[in-house]
Amino acid sequence: MKNESRKQWLSYLATADENYLISLWDNLNMKIEYNWLREPEIGSVMVQGKAGVTGDNFNVGEVTITRCSLSLDKKIQGHGYVQGRNKYKSKIAALCDALMQTEKKEIIKRNIIDKLIKYKNNKRNEILSKTEATKVDFFTLVRGEDK
Amino acid sequence: MYVSVKGGEKAINNAHSWLSEIRRGDVNIAELNIKQISEQLTLSVDRVMSEGSLYDKDLSALAIKQSRGDLIEAIFLVRAYRTTLPRIGSSKPIETGKMLCLRRISATFKDIPGKQKLGPTFDYTHRLLDFKLLADGEYEKAKIEKYDDKEIPHVLSFLNKEGLIQKEIPSGKTSKDITRNPINFPLTRSERLQSLSRGDEGFLLGLAYSTQRGYARNHAFVGELRTGYVEVQFEIPELGIEINIADVMFTECESVNQFKGSKKIPAQFTRGYGLVFGQLERKAISMALVDRSMRWKEFGEEYLGVAAQDEEFVISHCDNIQATGFLEHIKLPHYVDFQAELDLVRKIREEYKKNEQRT
C-alpha cells in the first residue's frame, strides 16, 4: 500500500459531506466485525495561517474534528479522522480506511471513494464556473483635463 | 468586588422559562431550524465562527438560535463549548494561494493574472430594500461560464518581484497560543494576528477607520481580497501521513500601505494582513489595517500615541467576550459593594453639613 493513495482516500473521507458518506455506506449494507482501538471522540485542530502569506505562522482558530481507530483483526487498522462532530461519519471513515487495505478494496473504492471524489469535483466545478461568470474587466475613463 | 448572593431560585427558573417561550416566538409561525440558519443566515454564522474561534457551521447556527440572534451571546456559547474540546493537534500552515476562490479582487491593479472576480457580493448593489423577498421562494440562479482551473497567484507577489514592497520573511520568533497561555506584552506579530482574527468586528472596524481618518499614518489600499475554500492539512499522528482533514472558508486581505525607506533601502510599500474564517471581508480588511498600524516599531515609524498603534490597548480590548463579561457583570448583584459606597457618601455628607453649620 502506497502512502500517496492512503493519503488520498483519507482526505476524501475526512472532508466528505456527512449525509452523503453515510448514505453511500448504508447502501452497501456491509456487516463488518471490528474492535475499537479508540472510540469516536470529538476534538479540535488548531488551524495555522501565515502572516502576509509568506511570513511567520500564526493560529487562526480551531476546526471541529472527530476521530476514532479500530482494527479488523490484529494486523489491519483503520483510522477515521473527519471534519465535524459526527461520530458515525468517523466510524465509517475508519472502516473504509481499514477495508481499503483488504480484498474488499475494490468495493469500497468503487462505491465510496470514487463517488466522494466525483462529488467533490462537481462542487469545485460549480464554484469555479459561477466565479468565472463574475469575472470583471474594469477600465478607467479618460478624464476631461487630459485632453 | 462581586460578593455571591443566595436566593432567587424560583424567580431565576421562571425567568428562564419565559426566555425559552419568548425565544420560540409566536407558535403559529413555523419554528426556525438549524439548517435554515446555517444555509440562509450564512454571514451571521460566519461571524460567530470567526469570533467564536471555532469553525463549525451547525454549532454556530445552534448558538444563534439559542441566543435569539444576539451574536455576541452566540459567540460566548461557542467559546464556552470550544474550551471543552480536547485539542488533537495543529494543522500545517494553510496555503491561501491554492484557495478555491468565490471572490478575488484587487483595488490596486486592474489587470491581474487570474483576473478580478466579484463573487457573491453586496458591492454595487443599490442598498434598496428588496420587497420581492417578502414574497415566497423567488430567487435568481447564479450564471455559469467556462473556466480555466489554474491557481490564482497573490497580487502582491508581483510587487514583491520588483522589490517594490516589503517582503514578509519568517522572523524565527516563537509565538504562544494566546488561548492557552497568558499574554505578555510586547507580543509577537503572530500573537497579535491570532487576537485580531478572533477579535470583535465592530471594534476593529472602528480602529481601522480611525487610521484612515488620520490617527496613525498609513494610507491603505486593498492590494488583494479573496474569499474561498482552503484545504487544511494535518498529519495523522498514528500514521505520519498528512491529509486534507478539513475544507475551511477563509477571507484574506493584503493591504498595501505607504512606503518606508532608508539610506540603505530605497522606498518601498509596506503591508498589513487579515485572515478570518468565513466570508467576512469588512473584518478581514479591518484586521489588515490594524495589523499594519501596530507594526510602527518594526518599520521605524513615529509613535503618535493613537489607539490603533498601541498593541496593549488594541489587544486588551478587541475580545468581545472578555469585554462583555466584564461589562455585563456590573449588572449582577453588587449589594455589599454598594452598601460600603453608600455608607461612605453618607459620612462625607454628614461631615459637610457639620462644617457648614460651623461657618
In a domain, B323, yes or no: no
pLDDT for B119-149, tens place per residue? 999 999 999 998 888 887 788 999 999 998 8
Q: Do residues B252 and B61 touch, judged by C-beta distance below 8 A?
A: no
* Calpha distance B74→B64 (Å, rounded): 5
Judging contacts by C-beta atoms under 8 Å, the chain B residues touching residue A50 are 93-94, 96, 168
Judging contacts by C-beta atoms under 8 Å, the chain A residues touching residue B82 are 44, 62
Crossing angle for the helix pair B281-293 and B201-212, to the nearest 10 degrees: 60
* Calpha distance B60→B34 (Å, rounded): 9
Residues 87-126 of A with CB under 8 A from B: 124, 126
Nearest to B318 by CA among B169, B167, B165, B204: B204
Residue B103 and residue B246 share a domain: yes
Residue B308 and residue B197 share a domain: yes
Mean pLDDT of chain A: 94
pLDDT at residue B336 tops 90: no
In a domain, A30, yes or no: yes
- The pLDDT value given to residue B274: 98
- Neighbouring-strand partners of residue B227: B103, B251
Residue B310 and residue B201 share a domain: yes
- Neighbouring-strand partners of residue A71: A35, A77
Asked whether the beta carbons of residue A64 and residue B85 sit closer than 8 angstroms, the reply is yes
More confident residue, A92 or A4: A92
Residue B102 and residue B40 share a domain: no
Map residue B281 onto helix, strand or coil: helix
In a domain, A29, yes or no: yes
Judging contacts by C-beta atoms under 8 Å, the chain A residues touching residue B102 are 127, 130-131
CA–CA min distance A16, chain B (Å) = 9
Asked whether the beta carbons of residue B117 and residue A134 sit closer than 8 angstroms, the reply is yes
Count of domains in chain A? 1
Count of domains in chain B? 3
Q: Do residues A19 and B63 touch, judged by C-beta distance below 8 A?
A: no
- The pLDDT value given to residue B2: 60
* % of residues, chain B, pLDDT over 90: 78
Q: Which residues contact B291 (CB under 8 A, 6 or more apart)?
A: B189, B192, B193, B196, B272, B273, B274
pLDDT band for A140, please (50, 70, 90 cuts): confident
pLDDT at residue A1 tops 80: no
Residue B192 and residue B61 share a domain: no
* Calpha distance B280→B283 (Å, rounded): 5
pLDDT at residue B300 tops 80: yes
- ipTM, 2 dp: 0.94
**Is A6 an 8 Å CB contact of chain B?**
yes
Q: Do residues B78 and B52 touch, judged by C-beta distance below 8 A?
A: yes
Residue B265 and residue B204 share a domain: yes
**Is B144 an 8 Å CB contact of chain A?**
yes
Helices and strands (H, E) in chain B, number of each type: 12, 7
Q: What is the Cα gyration radius of chain B?
A: 25
pLDDT at residue A145 tops 80: no
User: What's the full length of chain A, in residues?
Assistant: 147
**Is A56 an 8 Å CB contact of chain B?**
yes
Where is average pLDDT lowest: A32-36, B94-98, B100-104, B268-272?
B268-272
More confident residue, A145 or A59: A59
Residue B292 and residue B188 share a domain: yes
In a domain, A132, yes or no: no
- The pLDDT value given to residue B172: 83
pLDDT at residue B217 tops 80: no
Where is average pLDDT lowest: A49-58, B13-22, B338-347?
B338-347
In a domain, B155, yes or no: yes
Nearest to B155 by CA among B196, B184, B113, B185: B113
In a domain, B218, yes or no: yes
pLDDT at residue A146 tops 60: no
* Calpha distance B119→A136 (Å, rounded): 10
Residue B109 and residue B249 share a domain: yes
Residue B175 identity: S
In a domain, B76, yes or no: yes
In a domain, B189, yes or no: yes
In a domain, A104, yes or no: yes
Asked whether the beta carbons of residue B142 and residue A130 sit closer than 8 angstroms, the reply is yes
Asked whether the beta carbons of residue A63 and residue B142 sit closer than 8 angstroms, the reply is no
Stated pTM of the model: 0.94
> Which residue intervals of chain B are DSSP H helices?
9-24, 34-40, 42-52, 57-66, 71-82, 156-162, 189-197, 201-212, 281-293, 311-317, 320-329, 335-358
Q: Do residues A60 and B277 touch, judged by C-beta distance below 8 A?
A: yes
Asked whether the beta carbons of residue A64 and residue B118 sit closer than 8 angstroms, the reply is no
Mean pLDDT of chain B: 93
Residue B72 and residue B209 share a domain: no
- The pLDDT value given to residue B175: 85
In a domain, A130, yes or no: no
Among chain B residues, the shortest Cα distance to A44 is held by: B87
Residue B255 and residue B349 share a domain: no
Which of A6, A7, A13, A46 should one mutate to test binding to chain B, selecting the residue with the greatest count of B CBs within 10 A?
Answer: A46
* Calpha distance B71→B74 (Å, rounded): 5
Among chain B residues, the shortest Cα distance to A14 is held by: B245
pLDDT at residue A133 tops 70: yes
In a domain, A111, yes or no: yes
- The pLDDT value given to residue B75: 98
**Is B264 an 8 Å CB contact of chain A?**
no
pLDDT at residue B41 tops 80: yes
Judging contacts by C-beta atoms under 8 Å, the chain A residues touching residue B247 are 15, 83
- The pLDDT value given to residue B4: 66
Residue B109 and residue B70 share a domain: no
pLDDT at residue A61 tops 60: yes
Q: What's the average model confidence in pLDDT over A62-67?
A: 98
Q: Do residues B50 and B74 touch, judged by C-beta distance below 8 A?
A: no
- The pLDDT value given to residue B109: 87
Nearest to B44 by CA among B23, B79, B75: B75
Q: What's the average model confidence in pLDDT over B278-285?
A: 98
In a domain, B243, yes or no: yes
CA–CA min distance A99, chain B (Å) = 16
**Is A74 an 8 Å CB contact of chain B?**
no
pLDDT for B223-280, tens place per residue? 999 999 999 999 999 999 999 999 999 999 999 998 777 777 788 899 999 999 999 9
For A62, the domain range is 3-122
Judging contacts by C-beta atoms under 8 Å, the chain B residues touching residue A63 are 54-56, 232, 245-246, 248
Asked whether the beta carbons of residue B116 and residue A138 sit closer than 8 angstroms, the reply is yes
> Hey, what's the cell of A112?
465510496
pLDDT for B170-204, tens place per residue? 998 888 999 999 999 999 999 999 999 999 999 99
Q: What's the average model confidence in pLDDT over B109-114?
A: 87
- The pLDDT value given to residue A141: 74
Residue B27 and residue B105 share a domain: no
Q: Which residue has the cell 497568558?
A: B182
**Is A1 an 8 Å CB contact of chain B?**
no
For B342, the domain range is 328-358
